[in-house]
Structure 1
């Protein structure tokens, strides 16, 4: 059996919650030895289902870093480590001797990734890393549509799940750079940066916007979640009008009746007969509709209960669901790895007992001193060919460009399908050279061959039957470039009945139970607007690419890797597992008013505005109850009777973490000096939009810069430049243009 890709890497993990432990889990199942440090103040979630999933297969070591013997033990572990993951604030890290400067001096080869609530250079860097508070302060609770006006509590902790992948990717990028530079360094990220990733498609500002760019995509756009005759809900993506049952029913209604039904709802950019579709969907049972839609290549899913996805044969066929022996719960079903490499990631056993006493690991040999290299981005030298469309594929390659890779985006002369939604398109394209090429045409073959021979990585999310027709499947491209790392993102995974089916983020939220949970108790399901499935799939694919590249640096050989919307989204169901009797463990549910999970973790309406509270642990919860009361009704009355500033001052005075729920932040985000100081803004000059402002850096690498200086390309903007660089002569370039195969 092949040595695991990270089989020579040792990781020290010092973190609670979701983000740090999930990042450690990814590194562990890629082969790293992960030693998890558990301190006396990290016991609050140790018995939870989520804890048992995220910390499976790791060594757990109990020590107290506040005691001299604990600090000595931790220092010994760090001397033998390649990576340190932690979620300490800068002040807490400094108190424990784990600040960046001291770590770099003591362990020059160590890669350090801290996941904070906010970036280290942000004014709020010392604030508790509580997702609800970060989303409140950013204004994202106001970006999510709800069943009532105003901001709503976001049930899915999407920022923490995204931050875990950003952390794991940052670590891999630093390990790759360490091979080049001979030293370690930081690769920090934060919940705020992760939460802003989906806002890259919404929060941008242009000097000379087109009408389409200026309009963007409103949060009030109707979502095609339809109630069926049996009371279940089905999410349909794009128009279902060509499916025979729907087409027949529309014809039977007639144009006038269809118009009457459509007029009951705002216009939908995905379904021109939204209202009529909704009325017709109510005439049949949900699973009958979904079966019919699948037969006719219409993407749809039932909005399933949370945890029901564990019974999916498609998920099991791809290893997205695995059996684990849990001593407390029996043989349970848990989320498995979300991606596939060669060798594949491996689940390394259930949650182990913590170890006590001194733990000795061999120290890493000191690296030979090298002259400080020029500060270049971590992935400088990597060449990436982006053949993807929509969101997941292009966002993944944009991140590789941010990290320093040279990325060439290929799209048809008619343009990527997402160009019609200009702001969303631009949010996934910065850093790339844009080339127009009509794939699948005989006359374009030599241009495609030149691109493939140039590339180290090919990345796309086109359905594989279409990819084979276009001549961009792995077998075809490998013949041109055997060392290629080829990455494909599918909807449902590379195996099973649904391997070639269409799918979108919304459908994965439905299948995995998040739409049901985000709706709130007793309410219809609600789509989480942030497109998390696309972003999770993109990030997991980047992690897989960097693992394959890391292995190629050793072996010289390429490989095919893959990720999927289903696999990446299913990992977030780890709050629940399926028990041997087929039932699932319960999860905390959002209330019907969509304001929170408990009195101490909720958003409240004050006299003048909304306020978010996220008390954790007995001390904070007791302090909150002492101010506002024990019941929801008491708390609501306390907040409603005073201005937000007064309530906030009282909470902070009592040591209860709270933040204002900011609203309408799309424009204000770009003018905030604290965000600018933390690198959360990016600005460049665009060929059409003039000065373009977008969401900025997702990592901080300290001495290594990111590449955030190239705007999203206009259609075919760099075609001539790229063809000349790849050796196509003037006559050949002119012929491509004359045949309509490229745009110059």
Structure 2
């Protein structure tokens, strides 16, 4: 049992194209599940790509024609003996094939089914094809990304698909855990829209009584410290580099007047007070020299590298984030490896396999029934009963534990008496904290040790993203905490992974986007690189850590043993580089490039400007592309003229009438989203009473579990809001709590003011 892969014995049927479904299947496969991928003639549009070969490696591939009785019967036989079904069918398509939730529950009551569509199944757009660009356009997210020109821009990184893959995989695991409690399977659905909204939790929210800091938010016009160096390469620096000796000397040499003059050329930056002067100074040395100097002085920085260059990274290889795979057509290539670590570890299960004929080689009887635990009749959230101690800060750690709270876990957030470092960005902070009880405790102090130990004994899971040297000083590393509670699942998110020279280095999403090539790709051909504002590295790392935690918890249900699990910003972001691989000669396979105008990747997949606004088109298969050509011409100039000559709604009606997937590119949608009754009905909103802000509205649920609820009823905590409650719950007496407060080791919120 201890040596078997964690998901050994779980059978998954996968029926999906693109990124989200196949990438979720890949995670389940490399955690030990048997994944059988079903491919139909309609799914041929993306077969043969490099991305396809990575996402579907190691899976059994079966060719089935679901338009025939034999194909449908073969699929039904597979589902009868399966534990999990992943698909990307719209509700109507699923029902036509007998794959709606009700029919599946009758055919196999233990089956966990996860549909990854375009929109939630209760949304009016649920029948739309799962095309990421169209979802982002309709949500208004293409207008949230700064560009090199005014107006909305095409987002090159398919971040929603990658996030949806992790939401799918974690939802499946949560439902498998609930199945052990309830004795039945059920839904674990998500969508591209829900995934795309995850980063907007930082930005799209509304308070009844906002403070000035909350109302200000974080503008998309904030200057980004991405600077051109003497050799033409660009370096992304996070936080101020002013204390690094070269920068300090140069600033002093310029003098205050010249520094002020350079700074005045740009809007103020919340991360770099001398943004303009830094930019001018960095132009006088090569990028590599700057990065080496900054790292020597603990300033986080990274060169904006070409796409795929990260495959040569010694740090990535040290953590197996890059692995060698014997590709049948390309030879020994380097691909992204698993993005997280558990015991036993995830394992690449070979290259892309050949497509097998329609008759599956061997069948499996229905899995054995599982008896529900006594008293488990009430519909509970999937993770009800799990207890999580959140010691993290910034984004990745707190967002991960917020997701565990959404799934039903009881989460206690611990922060210093002075407050989490992110509280200064109030809207961003609130977007990662709902569902938690908030406690203030000064870690690392002898007087706080008893309270910390009580928290650790209470917890099933401890999760944080504190750099490990600091964690050891504070006594919150795995070795220290597992001595207190040996059954703990301890999860750590690092920047660069738990091994290698950079294992303890600071890092941020911005640096991972730079290292993995996304800043160059998002800039467009011939343009300066651009950071994707959505902070996707943090969210990818958060989700991969949740996946690791749930795997460890799933194993602990059998063994009773805890373990340390890990994820990282680098590993999670590097997985998205799967569009390319490194060839045996060191070359990188080509990828689609964003055009200089930042409108798209091809005439069939781009934004077009109509007479009164932008419109997005995503024509992927041959029939759609042919229809597009007949309607608007084949040449780019012809198409731009066709779109530009008519209002958007008329162009949209013509495209839809011809069967070409398209959506309007909506702008300034933050308030409109929160006012949208369709989004509210689809579960995309959450609201609760906050101690300071009054009624607080935020992005809602990221999953739909059908008969099982999410827990979205607790507002983000004010500083020290639940300290008194938690200390009493853990058995600390009034005298102990008073001593903690007197010594400045805790704070207790005053209920009348919402302040400590």
- TM-score, normalised to structure 2, is 0.98
SS in 2 for 1:638: helix
> What is the match of residue 470 of structure 1?
474
SS in 1 for 2:325: strand
> What is the match of residue 319 of structure 1?
320
Question: Does 69-78 or 369-378 show the bigger shift?
Answer: 369-378
Displacement of 1:327 = 1.1
SS in 2 for 1:435: strand
> What is the match of residue 500 of structure 2?
496
Displacement of 1:222 = 0.2
Do residues 149 (structure 1) and 156 (structure 2) align?
Answer: no
Question: Does 372-381 or 48-57 show the bigger shift?
Answer: 372-381
> What is the match of residue 171 of structure 1?
172
Structure 1 distance, partners of 2:370, 2:282, is: 68
Do residues 290 (structure 1) and 294 (structure 2) align?
Answer: no
Q: Deviations over 1:323-379 (max 9, x none)?
A: 000011110000000000000000000000011142132112452676971011000
> What is the match of residue 681 of structure 1?
685
Do residues 552 (structure 1) and 531 (structure 2) align?
Answer: no
Give matches, 1:266-305, under 5 Å: 266-305=267-306
SS in 1 for 2:380: coil
> What is the match of residue 388 of structure 1?
392
> What is the match of residue 231 of structure 1?
232
SS in 2 for 1:212: helix
SS in 1 for 2:273: coil
Q: Specify whether residues 391 and 368 from structure 1 end up closer, same or farther in structure 2 by C-alpha distance, changes over 3 A only.
A: closer
Give matches, 1:499-514, under 5 Å: 499-514=503-518
Displacement of 1:258 = 0.2
Give matches, 1:41-60, under 5 Å: 41-60=42-61
Do residues 735 (structure 1) and 739 (structure 2) align?
Answer: yes
Do residues 240 (structure 1) and 241 (structure 2) align?
Answer: yes
- TM-score, normalised to structure 1, is 0.99
Structure 2 distance, partners of 1:467, 1:388, is: 10
> What is the match of residue 214 of structure 2?
213
**Retained in 1: the 8 A contact 2:182–2:371?**
no
**Retained in 1: the 8 A contact 2:87–2:114?**
yes
SS in 2 for 1:235: strand
Structure 1 distance, partners of 2:410, 2:86, is: 28
Give matches, 1:186-197, under 5 Å: 186-197=187-198
> What is the match of residue 751 of structure 2?
none
> What is the match of residue 9 of structure 1?
10
**Retained in 1: the 8 A contact 2:180–2:370?**
no
Do residues 627 (structure 1) and 631 (structure 2) align?
Answer: yes
> What is the match of residue 613 of structure 1?
617
SS in 2 for 1:42: helix
> What is the match of residue 707 of structure 2?
703
Do residues 481 (structure 1) and 482 (structure 2) align?
Answer: no
Structure 2 distance, partners of 1:182, 1:66, is: 33
> What is the match of residue 420 of structure 2?
416
Structure 2 distance, partners of 1:105, 1:489, is: 41
Structure 2 distance, partners of 1:104, 1:65, is: 20
SS in 2 for 1:41: helix
> What is the match of residue 251 of structure 2?
250
SS in 2 for 1:234: strand
Do residues 24 (structure 1) and 25 (structure 2) align?
Answer: yes
> What is the match of residue 363 of structure 1?
365
Gaps spanning 5+ residues in structure 1: where?
none
SS in 1 for 2:355: coil
> What is the match of residue 180 of structure 1?
181
**Retained in 1: the 8 A contact 2:51–2:580?**
yes
Give matches, 1:315-354, under 5 Å: 315-354=316-355
**Retained in 1: the 8 A contact 2:407–2:711?**
yes
> What is the match of residue 39 of structure 1?
40
> What is the match of residue 81 of structure 1?
82
Q: Specify whether residues 152 and 365 from structure 1 end up closer, same or farther in structure 2 by C-alpha distance, changes over 3 A only.
A: closer
> What is the match of residue 529 of structure 1?
533
Q: Deviations over 1:55-74 (max 9, x none)?
A: 00000011111211111111
1:712 to 705, 709, 716: 716
Question: Does 43-52 or 190-199 show the bigger shift?
Answer: 43-52
Q: Deviations over 1:191-232 (max 9, x none)?
A: 000000000000000000000000100000000000000000
1:452 to 449, 456, 461: 456
Displacement of 1:169 = 0.3
SS in 2 for 1:568: helix
Structure 2 distance, partners of 1:185, 1:64, is: 26
Q: Deviations over 1:154-182 (max 9, x none)?
A: 00000000000000000000000000000
> What is the match of residue 259 of structure 1?
260
Structure 1 distance, partners of 2:354, 2:340, is: 28
Structure 1 distance, partners of 2:174, 2:541, is: 18
Q: Specify whether residues 459 and 95 from structure 1 end up closer, same or farther in structure 2 by C-alpha distance, changes over 3 A only.
A: same
> What is the match of residue 93 of structure 1?
94
Q: Deviations over 1:81-103 (max 9, x none)?
A: 00000000001101111011100
Do residues 438 (structure 1) and 439 (structure 2) align?
Answer: no
> What is the match of residue 578 of structure 1?
582
Q: Deviations over 1:113-141 (max 9, x none)?
A: 00000000000000111000000000000
Give matches, 1:113-128, under 5 Å: 113-128=114-129
SS in 2 for 1:418: helix
Do residues 666 (structure 1) and 670 (structure 2) align?
Answer: yes
**Retained in 1: the 8 A contact 2:231–2:286?**
yes
> What is the match of residue 753 of structure 2?
none
Structure 2 distance, partners of 1:394, 1:5, is: 25
Do residues 588 (structure 1) and 589 (structure 2) align?
Answer: no
Large movers: runs of 4+ above 3 Å: 368-372
**Retained in 1: the 8 A contact 2:184–2:370?**
no
Structure 2 distance, partners of 1:569, 1:635, is: 35
Displacement of 1:105 = 1.0
SS in 1 for 2:213: helix
Structure 1 distance, partners of 2:678, 2:365, is: 40
2:640 to 636, 641, 652: 636
Structure 2 distance, partners of 1:558, 1:353, is: 39
Q: Deviations over 1:22-41 (max 9, x none)?
A: 00000000000000001111
Structure 2 distance, partners of 1:68, 1:323, is: 41
> What is the match of residue 543 of structure 2?
539
Q: Specify whether residues 420 and 42 from structure 1 end up closer, same or farther in structure 2 by C-alpha distance, changes over 3 A only.
A: same
SS in 2 for 1:322: strand
SS in 1 for 2:42: coil
Q: Deviations over 1:296-348 (max 9, x none)?
A: 00000000000000000000000000000001111000000000000000000
Structure 2 distance, partners of 1:249, 1:60, is: 60
SS in 1 for 2:335: strand
